[in-house]
Chains A and B, each alone.
Chain A
């Protein structure tokens, strides 16, 4: 107590910010810190190095001793002699089948054009910087792609598109009176238009006709791409509608959505595909030719839509209630507050989950090989491996298939990470 102390302290000058101490750098230090920081870590490092060595010592000779030019497996083995190597000639000989299925050789340009245009159509959806006008092309693209891949008269996609336009016009005329009236009127108008246009296509069906390609000839990776792109594009809006419906305060809408989601999620995709293949035919009027690809698309879309709905529901639940209240308090109606405030944020939160479903869905399209469609896996397991020339070249052709899927899936994943960084406005 007696000790006099100087408790008061006043700082008059502020310390200038200084750079952090220069880190000791160098390879040795990095190695020691990251690979050999303890006995256990050193052992693990050595074990990992051995594993990498073992893998490469197996793979590299197999790869470099591979034969790229041969007539058949037997030819491959003769050329290799003592050395063990891959028979990559199989890929060389069959890649067209793997990519295009049994699509006629001379018109490969059509799916290739459709594939190139796919990126043009995707560009404005994926990247904000692309001119918005291009979105009109995106709207046209599905009809153009259908015409290119399936061929036939241009009237079918044109009339299909016109039907949508007619439906939309009727909808926008009636929607001022009530949404239900506009919606029903639009659907009815489109249906009548399509029914009438059925007569046109069956009577004057040769306008600007491309050679028709039957659905059973569409296969290979092209089929996986078609199913993947169409189903992802359709299941996202379906998932959004289901997720919002599940949150609805109207009990009937809510229960329809809940039952749909729970039922579809509780059934294996394979089962749905068998239903698409076999059972659905019983429910349709006899004589209707309901394309198998269309049936499969409907089933996969329902399946993925249910999963995406649950992912988006998670995003909706993660939003603070205050966001709903702020939107309400400004006088925004339900549609506006969902579109402008709630969904942009909920979807942003849901991106990793949605991409997860999309990648899974894209790979699941190979399941159609089970209902004897010749997608990439189907065509490898069927015609290619069963052929006398290439019987037994599993590694090479399945490796090729894996590469194709990996490129697309890795691309999707990289895009989604880029998108998340672009949209990260709240944690900057």
Chain B
């Protein structure tokens, strides 16, 4: 992975270590007879911020959902933070509690308040005392700039606010890796920037992040690697500047011309 060594090229001089966070080797996945992911090899270093893009149905969401075992892979290996994902439930739960995930449709728990959404997993999974979990939750709610909504229910918040709560909820587990699955695709245009700002802030603090997104401005600004997927394969990966200005494969060129065309 030569490109990660060239850290100075990356935006906002954010450091990337040599320590491996996620190692995927020869990973394959099928839905029935349909081959969704084909021979995926990917190494993610700690502190890296990776943007994954590609046309719909290219397997990009499935890829990051395999990393926290929301989807099962059938061939190859995934090693997350030293834990190999197998069918062992204990391993899967350990990986999940170390890897935060933010969904396209937020998936907040509608029957719990914002604060309860944030404290639930720390209390039940990490066995954190309630008081301490609430303090942590308020800290992260302040960080995503909505501490005043703590006692409301998700249904009372706007989409952008809900997505920020979802980010805070993941952060409360103090994850070492964050996965974002099209976090802004379900938002009204005027709410996208507040969510992206939160993600940029997170990136600046050195969080390892994998984002499936079509926000190319965000990719240019914070990513130190952009991965382009098509038909279940990684077609091209490069630093953002190179990726956008000098795409190599025809498929990438076509995709970029389509999304950057207007």
Which A residues contact B (CB, under 8 angstroms)?
A: 320, 322-323, 325-333, 336, 340-341, 344-345, 348, 423, 425-428
Q: Which residues of B contact A341 (CB under 8 A)?
A: 109, 120
Contact among B89, B94, B120 for A330, CB-based, below 8 A:
B120
Q: Which residues of B contact A331 (CB under 8 A)?
A: 93-94, 96-97, 121, 125, 173
Contact A326 B103 (CB under 8 A): yes
Which partner residue on chain A sits nearest B123 by CB separation? A340
Which partner residue on chain A sits nearest B105 by CB separation? A322
Stretch touching chain A among B153-161, B203-211, B221-229: B153-161
Q: Which residues of B contact A322 (CB under 8 A)?
A: 103, 105, 107
Q: Which residues of A contact B120 (CB under 8 A)?
A: 330, 332, 340-341
List the 10 closest pairs (A to B, CB-CB), nearest first. Answer: A331-B97, A326-B107, A426-B110, A322-B107, A330-B121, A329-B101, A331-B96, A425-B153, A426-B155, A331-B125
Q: How far is the CA of A242 from the CA of B68 in the complex (A)?
A: 29
Q: How far is the CA of A323 from the CA of B154 in the complex (A)?
A: 13
Q: Which residues of A contact B170 (CB under 8 A)?
A: 329-330
Residue B49 at the A interface, CB < 8 A?
A: no
Residue B46 at the A interface, CB < 8 A?
A: no
Which partner residue on chain B sits nearest A325 by CB separation? B70
Residue B34 at the A interface, CB < 8 A?
A: no
Contact A325 B93 (CB under 8 A): no
Q: How far is the CA of A326 from the CA of B117 in the complex (A)?
A: 11
Contact among A326, A333, A425 for B111, CB-based, below 8 A:
A425
Contact B110 A336 (CB under 8 A): no
Which partner residue on chain A sits nearest B124 by CB separation? A336
Which partner residue on chain A sits nearest B169 by CB separation? A330
Q: How far is the CA of A336 from the CA of B109 in the complex (A)?
A: 14
16 A-B residue pairs with CB within 8 Å: A322-B105, A325-B103, A326-B101, A326-B108, A328-B68, A328-B96, A330-B125, A331-B96, A332-B121, A333-B89, A340-B120, A340-B124, A344-B111, A345-B109, A425-B155, A427-B155
Q: Which of B96, B101, B107 has the most CB of A within 10 A?
A: B107
Contact B93 A333 (CB under 8 A): yes
Q: Which residues of A contact B154 (CB under 8 A)?
A: 426
* Interfacial residues of chain B within 69-116, with CB under 8 A of chain A in the complex: 70, 89, 93-94, 96-97, 99-101, 103, 105, 107-111
B72 to chain A, nearest CB (A): 12
Contact among B70, B89, B108 for A329, CB-based, below 8 A:
B70
Q: Which of B70, B105, B108, B110 has the most CB of A within 10 A?
A: B110
Known contacts A322-B107, A425-B110, A426-B153; decide if A328 and B70 are in contact (CB<8 Å).
Answer: yes
A-B contacts besides A323-B109, A423-B111, A428-B156, 9 pairs, CB < 8 Å? A329-B68, A329-B70, A330-B97, A331-B93, A331-B96, A333-B93, A344-B111, A345-B109, A427-B155
Q: How far is the CA of A37 from the CA of B125 in the complex (A)?
A: 62
A340 to chain B, nearest CB (A): 6
Q: Which residues of A contact B97 (CB under 8 A)?
A: 330-331
Q: How far is the CA of A331 from the CA of B80 in the complex (A)?
A: 14
Known contacts A330-B169, A330-B173, A425-B153; decide if A345 and B110 are in contact (CB<8 Å).
Answer: yes
Q: How far is the CA of A329 from the CA of B125 in the complex (A)?
A: 11
Q: Which of B89, B94, B124 has the most CB of A within 10 A?
A: B124
* Interfacial residues of chain B within 202-256, with CB under 8 A of chain A in the complex: none
Q: How far is the CA of A427 from the CA of B111 in the complex (A)?
A: 10
Q: How far is the CA of A206 from the CA of B125 in the complex (A)?
A: 50
Q: How far is the CA of A427 from the CA of B169 in the complex (A)?
A: 21
B161 to chain A, nearest CB (A): 15
